């Protein structure tokens, strides 16, 4: 063997090296693309209908989560709006975006339904408040939530009657607002009503007692009896607001809603 190797031609060795080099380089070259089968345009561009339906389906529970999110957003808006609107009740119009169109207003003697009646109530409070009182304002004592869908507000109404023989008084109450699943207010109930006057003048009495002491009359009157000598303007204020709702269809009420609000 030893004597054969030296006799190998350099040309043969060079050729062998070139072949091995070419083979090694060929291993690094990219493979040619594989032929693809011809597909119809429908198969290429449009997924199967079943697949489209699966992609468009909402994940389970997403609608409930969205509704809960909307509820808390509207709840926060309702609380902020009530905090801002209540103290300015007698100076400007309320923001009615937080209420449903079929909202119900309830107090110990009355019940009204509909956003138009609700707007009329607060217009009547402003209108008759300016007529019967030199000064009238509302102070919010507390705002809290006894449950998730209920907002409670404890307020105090102060007024100085225009009648000179009547003393300044305070009219307290609680407003309870109920919210639906979307966070919109659908009921406003006023209760725990009481007149609070200075002790040396008159003890606190229920608003129902005062209204019962002054039976309804078509004309505003002021009683001179000792029972309600310090409360007639408050009673007339309550009756005037109630009377406005009784005559909501009259031209007087509708004209005043436009010109006096």
In a domain, 230, yes or no: yes
Fill in the DSSP letter of residue 206. Answer: -
Domain membership flag for residue 19: no
Examine residue 15 and state whether it is found in any structural domain, yes or no. Answer: no
Residue 159: C-alpha distances to residues 131, 168, 201, 222 (Å) = 12, 6, 16, 16
Domain, as residue range, for 131: 63-259
Q: Assess if residue 20 is contained within a domain.
A: no
Residue 213: burial class (beta carbons within 10 Å; 0-12, 13-18, 19+): middle
Residue 104 included in any domain = yes
- Whether residue 207 lies inside any domain: the answer is yes
Alpha helices in the chain (DSSP H): 10-26, 41-45, 49-56, 62-85, 115-132, 207-213, 232-246, 251-259
The single residue listed with the structure tokens 């007639």 is 232
- Give domain status of residue 247, yes or no: yes
Give the count of domains, the chain: 1
The CATH number that applies at residue 174 is 3.10.450.50
> Residue-wise pLDDT tens for the chain (261 aa)?
444 455 555 554 455 555 555 555 555 555 655 655 555 554 555 665 655 555 556 666 677 788 888 999 999 999 999 999 999 999 999 999 999 999 999 988 889 999 999 999 999 999 999 999 999 999 999 999 999 999 999 999 999 999 888 878 888 899 999 999 999 999 999 988 877 655 444 444 555 555 555 444 444 333 333 444 445 788 888 888 888 887 654 444 444 444 444
Does some domain include residue 121?
Answer: yes
Q: What is the DSSP string of 36-85?
A: PPP--HHHHH---HHHHHHHHSPPTTHHHHHHHHHHHHHHHHHHHHHHHH
Question: pLDDT of 118-151, one tens digit each?
Answer: 999 999 999 999 999 999 999 999 999 999 999 9
Per-residue b/e over 158-182, b at no fewer than 16 CB within 10 Å?
Answer: bbebeeeebeebbbbbebbbbbeee
């Amino acid at each position: 063997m030893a004597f054969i190797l030296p006799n190998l031609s350099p040309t043969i060795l060079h050729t062998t090296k070139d072949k091995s080099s070419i083979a090694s380089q060929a291993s690094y070259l990219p493979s040619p693309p594989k032929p693809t089968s011809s597909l119809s345009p429908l198969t290429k561009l449009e997924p199967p209908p079943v697949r489209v339906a699966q992609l468009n389906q909402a994940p389970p529970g997403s609608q409930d989560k969205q509704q809960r999110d909307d509820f808390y957003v509207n709840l926060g808006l309702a609380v902020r709006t009530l905090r801002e609107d209540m103290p300015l009740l007698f100076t400007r119009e309320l923001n009615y975006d937080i209420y449903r169109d079929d909202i119900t207003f309830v107090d110990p003697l009355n019940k009204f339904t509909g956003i138009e009646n609700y707007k009329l109530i607060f217009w009547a409070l402003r209108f008759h408040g300016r007529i019967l009182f030199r000064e009238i304002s509302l102070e919010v004592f507390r705002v809290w939530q006894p449950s998730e869908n209920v907002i409670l507000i404890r307020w105090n109404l102060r007024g100085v009657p225009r009648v000179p023989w009547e003393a300044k008084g305070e009219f307290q109450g609680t407003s309870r607002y109920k919210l639906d699943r979307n966070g919109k207010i659908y009921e406003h109930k006023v209760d725990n009503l009481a007149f609070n006057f200075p002790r040396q003048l008159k003890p606190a009495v229920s608003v129902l007692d005062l209204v019962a002491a002054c039976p309804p009359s078509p004309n505003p009157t002021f009683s001179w009896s000792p029972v309600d000598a310090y409360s007639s303007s408050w009673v007339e204020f309550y009756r005037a607001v109630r009377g406005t709702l009784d005559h909501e269809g009259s031209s007087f009420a509708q004209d005043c809603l436009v010109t006096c609000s």
